């Protein structure tokens, strides 16, 4: 597969600040690749280095040691960082921190306007992005009147309007109710599967990680394991040692003595049906 992001021996250390916060190393000697069109989920307990890794991939931070290269561009300068952010967009946990305009369509237009895109092209991009995330009918609404899930989809549309090839989402559903969470995940899946967008999803929800092509586990600033969702969630003991859980369907089947690694509700129903002689 074609590599989009290459990370080699990456380390990032936060320096002590003026408020007395001590410095610490958040990412330690990480090496990995993100392939074009891939959907990668990143798991880890709080403080494991996930968000710092995301900001390094998006060139918000520059490495203390090692390299991050996006389509051959190393993140070693402010100029290169601007080029990288045209390729790799980022969606944060709280959409209110990312929405800057008082009208939805104006907010989506903000990024392309900063890139100097022609007005007619901005109009086309904004309409297309809002339609992609099913928010076109809300284009003239005020963002503060939207639900959490709708706001997050507007934030995603803003990244789409920038024409990025990769989207990094840092716990985008953490502050949403189940309905909003499903809206956002459905949008992300559609972008990946139908449009081929590369997706890196940082999440605490195991049911979201199940949908990825590959899952990375972080702890102590390092990537300690990676593999397909089935490979990762077939090791519940290892996950619990590192402060993580397994999907609810996996947990239920384990409790019932079903040894196969079950990931989804549909798989769970199928296993239970077989267990009960087809009665389900």
* Closest by CA position to 86, among listed 106, 59, 55, 108: 59
pLDDT at residue number 18: 63
| pLDDT the model gives residue 141 | 96
**Residue 160 is assigned to a structural domain of this protein:** yes
User: Does residue 92 lie in a domain region?
Assistant: yes
Structure-block tokens of residue 149: 């899930």
Of 217, 200, 203, 220, the C-alpha closest to 29 is 220
Can you give the pLDDT at residue 20?
Answer: 63
Count of the separate structural domains present in the chain: 1
For the chain, counts of helices (H) and of strands (E): 11, 10
Within a domain: 139:
yes
Radius of gyration of the chain (CA): 20
| φ, ψ (nearest 5 deg) of residue 38 | -85, 150
Report the alpha-carbon distance of residue 52 to residue 57 in Å, rounded: 9
What are 223's strand-pairing partners? 218
Burial tier of 165 (Cβ tally within 10 Å: 0-12, 13-18, 19+) = middle
Residues in the chain predicted with pLDDT less than 50, given as ranges, are 280
pTM: 0.89
User: Does some domain include residue 247?
Assistant: no
Residue 14 lies in a domain: yes
We report the CATH number of the domain holding residue 204 as 3.40.50.300
Reduced to 3 states, what is the DSSP secondary structure of residue 93?
A: coil
Could you tell me the residue range of the domain that residue 13 belongs to? 3-229
CA-CA distances (angstroms) from residue 144 to 61, 96, 109, 222, 243?
Answer: 30, 8, 17, 38, 35
Q: How many CA atoms lie within 13 A of 238 on its CB side?
A: 12
**169 occurs within a structural domain:** yes
Q: What is the pLDDT of residue 251?
A: 81
């Amino acid at each position: 597969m074609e590599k989009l992001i290459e990370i080699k021996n990456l380390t990032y250390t936060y320096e002590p600040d003026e408020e007395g916060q001590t410095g610490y190393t958040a990412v330690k000697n990480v090496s990995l690749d993100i392939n074009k069109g891939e959907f990668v989920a990143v798991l880890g307990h709080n403080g494991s280095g996930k968000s710092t890794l995301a900001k390094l991939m998006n060139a918000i931070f520059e490495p203390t040691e090692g390299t991050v290269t996006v389509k051959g561009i190393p993140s070693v300068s402010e100029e290169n960082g601007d080029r990288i952010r045209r390729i790799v967009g980022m969606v944060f946990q709280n959409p209110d921190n990312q929405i800057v305009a008082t009208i939805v369509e104006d907010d989506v237009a903000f990024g392309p306007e900063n890139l100097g895109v022609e007005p007619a092209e901005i109009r086309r991009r904004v309409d297309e992005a809002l339609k992609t995330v099913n928010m076109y009918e809300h284009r003239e609404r005020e963002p503060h009147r939207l639900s959490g899930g709708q706001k997050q989809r507007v934030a995603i549309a803003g990244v789409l309007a920038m024409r990025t090839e990769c989207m990094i989402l840092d716990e985008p559903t953490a502050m949403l109710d189940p309905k909003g969470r499903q809206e956002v995940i459905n949008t992300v899946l559609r972008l990946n599967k139908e449009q081929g967008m590369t997706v890196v999803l940082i999440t605490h929800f195991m049911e979201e990680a199940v949908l990825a092509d590959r899952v990375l586990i972080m702890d102590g600033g390092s990537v300690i394991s990676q593999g397909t969702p089935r490979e990762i969630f077939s090791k519940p003991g290892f996950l619990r040692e590192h402060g993580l859980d397994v999907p609810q369907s996996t947990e239920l089947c384990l409790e019932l003595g079903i040894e196969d690694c079950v990931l989804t509700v549909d798989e769970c129903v199928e296993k239970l049906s077989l267990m009960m002689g087809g009665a389900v």
